[in-house]
Amino acid sequence: MEFSTHTSASLHQIKTAALAVGVYADGVLSPAADIIDRASEGLLRKVVKAEFQGKAGSTLVLRAVPGVSAQRVVLVGLGKQADYAPAVHAGAERAFAAACIQAQAGEAVSTLAANPCGESTMRARARSAAIAAGQAAYRYDLTFGKGSERETGLRLRKFSVWAERADAAQAQAGAREGGGISHGMDLARTLGNLPGNVCTPSYLGETARKLAAEFKGTLKAEVLEQKQIEALKMGSFLSVARGSDEPPRFIVLKYTAPRAASRAKTAKPAKAPVVLVGKGITFDSGGISIKPAATMDEMKYDMCGAASVLGTMRAIAELELAHDVVGLIPACENLPSGRANKPGDVVTSMSGQTIEILNTDAEGRLILCDALTYAERFKPSAVIDIATLTGACVVALGHVNTGLFSKDDALADALLRAGRQSLDPAWRMPLDDAYQEQLKSNFADMANIGGPPAGAVTAACFLSRFAKAYPWAHLDIAGTAWRGGKDKGATGRPVPLLVHYLLEQAGKG
């Protein structure tokens, strides 16, 4: 989708397929709605009084409004004026986009970001508007037949954020950032939604290469194959890959920030990169410790950590972020076979630490630990791994908050702040040393599970043993990366959180 801004003072003269104006639950029209009401000689107030209550997220489409050039005026409920908050605004933008899609409008203009909302800025509201519209307009169609309704239906292709001229610069910056995040989320969602027989480790590698070709000025991809991974002595990662006929891939995607001429004159060295590590299990059967069959199809989503890294890298390349970033993705399948890991096996990680595998379904940490060791070579300012790691995190936090684990308070606070600002929230979980006791093994340096108690915590404790050389955080997205049931599909989280965090880091000098 194309995102832009609109600053025409004459709202009633904007020619568009759909124009959104807000209405509060107490009957108060937003300033934009008031302009349209006056242009239509009081029509909006009559409609609001007769049939529109302004409930948050509700919509009413009015066609051929007299005195207004837009084909449709869409009334969007904002809820009680006193309760209007950033989350309500984002919901209103999603509702408007959904109404446009229902009406088969190909382009739209929204005035909703112009309404004050707590302490948020116009830039933040424009960013949120673009993200919300992108979420509503996303459509997966890659594995439907040709000529299907999914493939041929009219799509919302252009979304504009309206702002007063005084706010135009902020609106433009926010819409651009939101557009980049939206495009990154689209990529992450599509990769997650693709079936495991299509989105293989090799497919992820090719996706990284295509991104590098698209953004060849700033992105560079290196995709390591079996022998190269063996040469690195990534024994833990390779032990998981061994059970599948699909060859593993270790993806290194480097983003180098554009060096402005003015910056080059100062000879100021580039800041140490942030490294993002994404779990790339393209299908997880559980291995020998096989999963129940009922929802095993959803284990194609076990590479959503990898998808979020690729989506984030795409977003920052589009936005030309002023900070170097490295994406690392260990990618393989976890399947049962005569070569697969068995409970009781002992493997040696790239770090030299040995691991007793008590459960082959705790495989994500086995591939991530080698990637965390590999990350040391970049001398990073911070390392963040992202993984659909534990069902225990879903039990603890449900589908609202991503689990955040870190011993670095500054890093944790920055990620929590980014989550709040992006409406992609995380919740900090404990990482006390006392939990490490559960990982003791009689036959290796550690076991790969710590038993049922605090399963999400002990998984993070396991990873922490390989992340001592730099500030590190772990995001467990098992409850937030996808939805099951009738709304089954990838969400694109935590791309907004990660991009907000990186934008903040880039702005620190």
Active site residues: 291, 365
Rounded alpha-carbon distances, angstroms, from residue 28 to 21, 25, 31, 87: 12, 7, 9, 20
CA distance 215 to 496: 20
CA distance 188 to 243: 26
Dihedral angle of Cα 430, 434, 438, 444, to the nearest 10 degrees: 120
CB 246 within 8 A of CB 332: yes
CB 482 within 8 A of CB 394: no
Q: Give bridge partners of residue 107 from the DSSP assignment.
A: 158
Beta-carbon contacts of 392 under 8 Å, excluding residues fewer than 6 positions away, are 454, 455, 456, 457, 459
Phi and psi angles of residue 77, each rounded to the nearest 5 degrees, phi first:
-70, 135
Nearest alpha carbon to residue 133 among 166, 96, 106, 102:
96
CA distance 238 to 247: 10
Cis peptide before 258 (omega within 30 of 0): no
CA distance 381 to 362: 28
Task: Specify whether the backbone of 500 is left (phi greater than 0), alpha (psi in -120 to 50) or beta.
Answer: alpha
CB 366 within 8 A of CB 448: yes
User: What SS3 class is residue 44?
Assistant: helix
CA distance 67 to 359: 68
User: What SS3 class is residue 256?
Assistant: coil
Element (H, E) at 97: helix 86-102
- Widest CA span of the chain, in angstroms? 82
Nearest alpha carbon to residue 47 among 5, 77, 18:
77
202 exposure class (CB count in 10 Å sphere: 0-12, 13-18, 19+): middle
What does DSSP say about strands 107-110 and 158-162: parallel, antiparallel, or unpaired? parallel
Phi and psi angles of residue 18, each rounded to the nearest 5 degrees, phi first:
-155, 135
